[in-house]
A and B are shown apart, each in its own frame.
Chain A
Amino acid sequence: MTDARMAIAADDPDAPRPSENKSSSAPEALAWESRSRRAVTIYVPLACFVFILLFPFYWMSVTAFKPNAELYDYKTYNPFWIGSPTLDHIYLLLFKTDYPRWLWTTMIVAFCSTILSLVASTLAAYAIQRLRFKGSQYVGLAIYLAYLVPPSILFIPLATMVFQLGLFDSPLALILTYPTFLIPFCTWLLIGYFKSIPYELEECALIDGATRVQILWRITLPLAVPGLISAGIFSFTLSWNEFIYALAFIQSTEKKTVPVAILTELVTGDVYQWGALMAGSLLGSIPVALFYSFFVDYYVSSLTGAVKE
């Protein structure tokens, strides 16, 4: 670069001008940018992004608490604000539908499949990363590839399997099938986490006469708690979000999970109860959002850590 510029300077009589330009722009780039410029290039676009990303949630909440009169009348009421907040929609949802049961089923399914896949993937990740048996790399790669198999191509054969096993219309079908996408992800995440725990600690324990099981239980697992927590959060949110299996395997109203139930039970006939729909969506989002907000630091760091791995 510099050679080329010097060559130009030597040849070209206009050379001083570009170098002047450079000297006037370089300090600006090197030093702090002016405040207004920074505002236009960073804060305004950022504010737009935040506004667009959050607006559907705002709209969902506003709709959930609006009385029907305001909901369908933008002329007399300002649509962006609630004139007289009401809990009617939430009351309807909680006491006139099976919503609490749906919530409970979703919670149980998410919890059980999370525990199941955490146990399975912790053991698998430990074996792959620490026991280092022959071919462990390939097993790791196979598990990673398993994550790339989407539920959309598995739900039809799984439906026939679930039917043959007699699990159709039972939450157990969901608890057993959710690990198909949870285990690959958790294992992948935990392999990365175990990698960050110094191997020397385990060697010390081995020299002190600890068994492999003791090492896993007393040394590796306590150190891996942050990794386990983030894997748990991922699993919980993923199972809470799952839709296609729950739609295909569950038929009776009272056993549905929240996402499926809202779409299939609350949307009936031609008149949509928008207030109740939005209230249902809001209530269904809150548990995940709360769960996530408690552990957001783990979440973001492990997400970025997992990607960095």
Chain B
Amino acid sequence: MPQTQASPLTWTRRSKQQNWLVRLLDWKPLLVVACMLPAVGLLMVFLTYPLGLGIWLAFTDTQIGRRGVWVGLENFEWLFEDPIFWNAVFYSVFYTGVATIGKFGLGLWLALLLNNHLPFKSILRAIILLPWIVPTVLTAIAFWWIFNPQFSIISYVLIEMGLRDTNVDFINTPWSARWSLIAANIWRGIPFVAISLLAGLQTISPSLYEAAMLDGSTPWQRFRYITFPMLLPILAIVMTFSIIFTFTDFQLVYAITRGGPVNSTHLLATLAFQRGIPAGQLGEGAAIAVSMIPFLVFATLFSYFALARRKWQQGEGDD
């Protein structure tokens, strides 16, 4: 009884107290603005504005500590004659292409393996995500140690097994360094791809496989005509993310080779950093960074159309 009396009392009093403030906050336009302000404000100031500023910087000769003047396309003209820049473009594309194929091939295989009935499934998934959780630089340092010219454990095992006579050269010549970095990138990328694709696999209805089996399909046909098409929407999204973040990768290369030997493993991001921050040529660094944008736009459009296709497939409305 006392409760039923007390609650209307407190309710009326509070409604009087909060009157103007509550009404103000219940006014929807204001509430929307108040809710969106922190996120949109932060993104505008620290993302949209720098993006524009970066594009502007690319057309100036700004250096650290000196305001630049507009120089038009000079930075780009200069870069287009720079073999190091073209090498970075080549290696960025090559790195992204090979690493993406490797990551998705192995990741899909791992996801298919994990989709079976296995003991300790949750522990297994936790272990598999580990390479993705741990800071990239720290695992890159571990790989640097594994790729050590003198004390590489891989060389040791290969020599002990009698497969080789000398230490493997991992990061001292251009092509071996390129492949070693790609291997490290694939290692780091597999978990995310596998876990995302596993989520996609688990949404596929088993009845489709049953129907296909009754029709006498081979395992390959089931993969080709059921698993793969059903997985395609998620595959497209994850691949877009993967391509964008592999193409603009920085940490792995910076930690293991810093672009060497003889600038052979520079990605566009590491080259932009090297020219921009330690060397102080902000304008030129920004020009290198800006030249990544066309690739990113391409990848984003790819993502957008993949999403549209997915909605169409699932028969969803707009939301």
Q: Mark A59-80, 1 if CB is under 8 A from B, else 0.
A: 1100100000001101000010
Does the CB pair A5–B289 fall under 8 Å? Answer: no
Q: A53-B127, A156-B285, A262-B138 are in contact. Are A131 and B195 (CB under 8 A)?
A: no
User: Which residue of A has the minimal Cβ distance to B234?
Assistant: A307
Given known contacts A50-B128, A152-B272, A307-B238, A57 and B134 CB-to-CB distance under 8 angstroms: yes
- The listed residue (B47, B151, B199) touching A308 by CB distance below 8 A is B199
- Tell me if A253 is interfacial: C-beta within 8 Å of chain B: no
Residue of A nearest to B303 (CB): A148
- Chain B, residue nearest A246 (CB): B137
Q: A152-B250, A156-B272 are in contact. Are A121 and B289 (CB under 8 A)?
A: no
B216 within 8 Å of A (CB atoms): yes
> Do A284 and B135 contact each other (CB < 8 Å), given the known contacts A63-B145, A211-B26?
yes
User: Is there contact, CB below 8 Å, between B126 and A296?
Assistant: yes
Q: Which of B39, B113, B244 has the most CB of A within 10 A?
A: B39
The verdict on B276 contacting chain A, using a C-beta distance below 8 Å, is yes
B51–A258 contact, CB under 8 A? no
* Contact among A117, A243, A289 for B137, CB-based, below 8 A: A243
A124 / chain B contacts, CB cutoff of 8 Å:
35-36, 38-40
Q: Are A79 and B145 touching (Cβ within 8 A)?
A: no
Per-residue interface assignment for chain B, residues 19 to 54, with 1 indicating a CB less than 8 Å from any chain A CB and 0 otherwise: 000100110110110111011101100110111011
Q: Choose from A137, A211, A288, A300 the contact partner of B195 (Cβ within 8 Å).
A: A300
Does A96 have its Cβ within 8 Å of any Cβ on chain B?
Answer: no
Nearest neighbor of B159 in chain A, beta-carbon distance = A74
Chain A nearest CB from B265 CB (Å) reads: 16
A97 on the interface (CB 8 Å rule)?
Answer: no
Q: How many residues of B contact A (CB 8 A)?
A: 105
C-alpha spacing A2/B212, complex, angstroms: 11
Please give, as numbers and ranges, the residues of chain B lying within 8 Å of A86 by CB-CB distance: none
Which of B69-77, B80-88, B290-298 contacts the other chain? B290-298
Q: A5-B216, A119-B38 are in contact. Are A278 and B145 (CB under 8 A)?
A: yes
- Chain B residues with CB below 8 A from A299, complex form: 129
What residues on B are CB-neighbors of A22 within 8 Å? 216
Looking at the assembled complex, report how far the CB atom of A7 sits from the nearest CB atom of chain B, in whole angstroms. Answer: 14
* Docked-complex contact B124 and A50, CB < 8 angstroms: yes
Q: Determine which of A148, A247, A300 lies in contact with B125 in the assembled complex, contact meaning CB atoms within 8 Å.
A: A300
Bound Cα distance from A63 to B148, whole angstroms:
13
In the complex, which residues of chain B have a beta carbon less than 8 angstroms from the beta carbon of A123?
Answer: 34-36, 38-39
Assess the B145–A145 pair: CB atoms within 8 A.
Answer: no
Q: Give me the interface of A with B, judged by CB distance under 8 Å.
A: 1-2, 5, 22, 26, 29-30, 42, 45-46, 49-50, 52-54, 56-57, 59-60, 63, 71-72, 74, 79, 116-117, 119-121, 123-124, 126-128, 131, 133, 137, 139, 143, 145-146, 148-161, 176-177, 179-180, 183-184, 187, 209, 211-213, 237, 240-241, 243-244, 247-248, 258-260, 262-263, 274, 277-278, 280-281, 284-285, 288-289, 292-293, 296-297, 299-300, 303-305, 307-308
Q: Could you list 10 examples of A-B contacts with CB < 8 Å?
A: A53-B127, A157-B50, A157-B51, A159-B277, A159-B282, A212-B28, A285-B139, A288-B133, A288-B135, A305-B199
5 further A-B pairs in the complex, CB-CB below 8 A; given A26-B216, A117-B42: A56-B131, A176-B46, A263-B141, A280-B141, A284-B138
